[in-house]
């Protein structure tokens, strides 16, 4: 299957401001600093699932290239104490390229892929309760056109309020459907499909109860459209493209934003909440980092990731702590276990 060469990978109201055509097209200076922090407690991996509950980060599953196997372990990270604790194994089939999200005090893992099992694609959903260190199986993602057709990998997921959302991905075909999960009723409900292309390997991030979906591929073509979803209005709105498609020159420097299997963080820069897109691949792995401004719908180039470029990494945005981390992933056949912390307002320091 041609698509599988890239599968090893998973987590605000916008005011549009018209940009004058007379804006200078000179590239902005980059800023920001990546600081190497620690290594994951378990195996190196890519295509893992991550979620944040309160001020605690979790990483589960993934693919370990050292022994060519999928994983089902779960690790908890305390960013204040800077330590790892192994937690209960996922009871379901080991996998990679699933999705993770959190609702309240619970974490969720859904979908994924394991080429050595039957079926290979998954649509099951699992809830993790840190209070009891236990997993409980929940309702599976619904089928599309017959048994098993709701299964997928390389989807995206996010949560807003008391609901979780999962959509897009790949199951032999590229997908664009989206579903809302109600943990109280333990039900999935279809919402409007994401407009534009089908896609896999995209990223999702949330700010001020609005979700954003960007990057990814469709039939081997990197996508440049960008969408936001308002769960209150139940509407999708298209934002500016992430490549140079306009007649204006605000996007003249948009030469390397498009990619797949990237990581997104949301955290403040000088008191203003911004989103950050880092790593991924577009023909080859990339370390390029871009900052997204929710108020202007514009992107700015930032300091590139300072370790080995990679795809299929995961990230944590600790909103209360105003901290963000990116780690694991792969380059070629090598999986990683290192993590870096991102300081968007600092000057680059190559020695840390």
DSSP string over 44-80: -BBS-EEEEETTEEEEEEEEETTTTEEEEEEEEEETT
Count other Cβ atoms within 10 Å, centred on residue 233: 9
* Residues 200/52/280/14 CA torsion (nearest 10 deg): 70
Tens-place pLDDT, residues 22-60: 333 334 457 999 999 999 989 999 999 999 999 999 999
Supply the range of the domain harboring residue 189: 41-275
- Cα 235 from Cα 211, distance rounded (Å): 11
State how far Cα 67 lies from the chain centre: 25
The answer as to whether 313 is a domain residue is no
According to DSSP, the β-strands at 174-182 and 163-170 are antiparallel
Q: What is the pTM of this model?
A: 0.91
Candidates 7, 87, 2; CA nearest to 42 is: 87
Q: Match 């979780």 to its residue by tokens.
A: 164
The answer as to whether 172 is a domain residue is yes
Give the model's pLDDT for residue 44. 97
The answer as to whether 143 is a domain residue is yes
- Cα 165 from Cα 157, distance rounded (Å): 5
The answer as to whether 137 is a domain residue is yes
Give the model's pLDDT for residue 154. 98
Taking 3-state DSSP, the helix, strand and coil percentages for the chain, each rounded to the nearest 5, stand at 0, 50, 50
At 168, is the secondary structure helix, strand, or coil?
strand
The answer as to whether 67 is a domain residue is yes
The answer as to whether 308 is a domain residue is no
Q: Is-contact 289 32, C-beta < 8 A?
A: yes
Q: Is-contact 49 314, C-beta < 8 A?
A: yes
Tens-place pLDDT, residues 125-181: 999 999 999 999 999 999 988 899 999 999 999 999 999 999 999 999 999 999 999
The answer as to whether 26 is a domain residue is no
Q: Match 């664009």 to its residue by tokens.
A: 176
Give the model's pLDDT for residue 29. 55
Over its length of 352 residues, how does the chain's per-residue pLDDT go in tens digits? 434 333 333 333 322 323 333 333 334 457 999 999 999 989 999 999 999 999 999 999 999 999 999 999 999 999 999 999 999 999 999 999 999 999 999 999 999 999 999 999 999 999 999 999 999 999 999 998 889 999 999 999 999 999 999 999 999 999 999 999 999 999 999 999 999 999 999 999 999 999 999 999 999 999 999 999 999 999 999 999 999 999 999 999 999 999 999 999 999 999 999 999 999 999 999 999 999 999 999 999 999 999 999 999 999 999 999 999 999 999 999 999 999 999 999 999 988 8
Domain count, the chain: 1
The answer as to whether 176 is a domain residue is yes
- Give the domain CATH number at 97: 2.120.10.80
């Amino acid at each position: 299957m041609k698509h599988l060469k890239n599968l090893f990978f998973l987590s605000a109201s916008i005011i549009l401001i018209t940009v004058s055509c007379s804006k200078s097209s000179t590239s902005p200076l980059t800023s920001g600093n990546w600081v190497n922090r620690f290594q994951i407690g378990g195996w190196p991996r890519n295509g893992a699932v991550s979620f944040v509950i309160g001020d605690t980060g979790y990483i589960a599953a993934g693919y370990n290239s050292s022994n060519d196997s999928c994983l089902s372990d779960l690790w908890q990270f305390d960013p204040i104490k800077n330590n790892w604790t192994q937690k209960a194994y996922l009871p379901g089939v080991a996998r990679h390229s699933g999705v993770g999200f959190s609702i309240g005090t619970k974490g969720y893992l859904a979908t994924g892929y394991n080429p050595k099992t039957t079926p290979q694609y998954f649509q099951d959903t699992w809830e993790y309760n840190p209070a009891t260190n236990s997993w409980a199986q929940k309702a599976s993602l619904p089928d599309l056109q017959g048994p098993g057709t709701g299964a997928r990998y390389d989807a995206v997921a996010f949560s807003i309020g008391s609901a979780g959302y999962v959509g897009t991905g790949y199951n032999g075909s590229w997908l664009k459907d989206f579903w809302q999960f109600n943990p109280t009723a333990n039900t999935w409900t279809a919402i409007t499909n994401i407009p534009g292309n089908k896609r896999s390997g995209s990223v999702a991030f949330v700010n001020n109860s609005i979700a954003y979906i960007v990057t990814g591929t469709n039939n081997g073509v990197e996508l440049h459209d960008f969408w936001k979803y308002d769960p209150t209005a139940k509407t999708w709105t298209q934002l500016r493209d992430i490549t140079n498609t306009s007649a204006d020159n605000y996007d003249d420097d948009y030469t390397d934003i498009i990619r797949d299997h990237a990581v997104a963080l949301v955290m403040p820069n000088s008191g203003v909440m911004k989103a950050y897109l880092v790593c991924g691949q577009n023909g080859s792995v990339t370390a390029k980092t871009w900052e997204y401004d929710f108020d202007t719908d514009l992107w700015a180039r930032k300091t590139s990731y300072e370790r080995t470029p990679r795809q299929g990494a995961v990230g944590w945005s600790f909103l209360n702590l105003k901290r963000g981390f990116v780690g694991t992933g792969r380059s070629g056949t090598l999986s990683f276990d290192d993590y870096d912390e991102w300081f968007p307002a600092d000057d680059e320091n190559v020695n840390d």
